[in-house]
Amino acid sequence: MGEATVRRVGVMGGTFDPIHTGHLVTAEEALFGFALDVVVFVPAGRPWQKEGLQVAPPEERFLMTAIATASNPAFEVSRVEIDRPGPTYTVDTLRDLKRAFAPAEMYFITGADAVLQILTWKDPERVLEEAWFIAATRPGYDLDRLEKQLPPELGRRVLTMEIPALAISSTDIRRRAREGRPIRYLVPEAVDRYIRKTGLYRGERGEVVEA
């Protein structure tokens, strides 16, 4: 048997509370720009970076992520972080997904501002072994500055791409939903309907927490 083709797998991690158009545009741009075969959205189980903050239940964040990505054949959603007990670390997620898609080359997609945080993660050396990093920036963002900030071992692994400026955040969407202001077009229509139908961010469930 010949060697299996290596799959180029994008990994889009996030709390997705809720998933929004900024996430989807970023994933699509990475798919196109780096000729990825698939982008796997990985809703966080119990985000350790957001310890103490109120986050919507994992199953609801998973459901919204699934309905938001359903129409794109290159998008998948993974339960690895939701099903893993205890705190979740990106290094474990990358390893699990690399095995699931083997043989695979992994590309972790993240906002440019968050790239430096990789060094604060568990096992940064292992993380850098497991994946390339695609840092999404907004047009006009100072890429030179980012590159100067990166230590060489990280810089070698970081690729960058520009995405249209999308000042959309889950924090703002939660606030809007709570206040009864529109979130239409900021999130896919099905997610908008789910949030309204369930009252996810309203009343007691809608205490807005800054991320």
Among ligand ATP, Mg ion, none, residue 65 binds (CB under 5-8 Å by kind): none
Touching ligand ATP, residues 65-94 (CB under 6 A): none
Q: Applying CB under 6 A, which of residues 33, 87, 111, 155 lies at the interface with ligand ATP?
A: 111
Pairing of strands 75-77, 38-43: parallel
**Closer by beta carbon to ligand ATP, 6 or else 74:** 74
Residue nearest to Mg ion (CB): 211
Stretch that binds ligand ATP, among 81-89, 109-117, 180-188, 190-198 (CB under 6 A): 109-117
The candidate with the shortest Cα–Cα distance to 92, out of 11, 188, 204, is 11
Helix, strand, coil shares of the chain, percent, nearest 5, are 45, 20, 35
Distance of CA 192 to the CA centre of its chain: 19
**Closer by beta carbon to ligand ATP, 6 or else 122:** 122
| Phi, psi dihedrals of residue 34, rounded to the nearest 5° | -115, 20
How many residues bind Mg ion, per CB under 5 A?
Answer: 1
Q: Applying CB under 6 A, which of residues 65, 69, 110, 137 lies at the interface with ligand ATP?
A: 110
CA distance 161 to 29: 8
Site membership for ligand ATP, residue 22 (CB under 6 A): yes
Burial of 187 (0-12, 13-18, 19+ CB in 10 A): buried
Question: Residue 31: which H helix or E strand, with range?
Answer: helix 21-33
Stretch that binds Mg ion, among 24-32, 45-53, 118-126, 203-211 (CB under 5 A): 203-211
**Closer by beta carbon to ligand ATP, 102 or else 159:** 159
Site membership for ligand ATP, residue 116 (CB under 6 A): no
CA distance 23 to 14: 9
Among Mg ion, ligand ATP, none, residue 49 binds (CB under 5-8 Å by kind): none
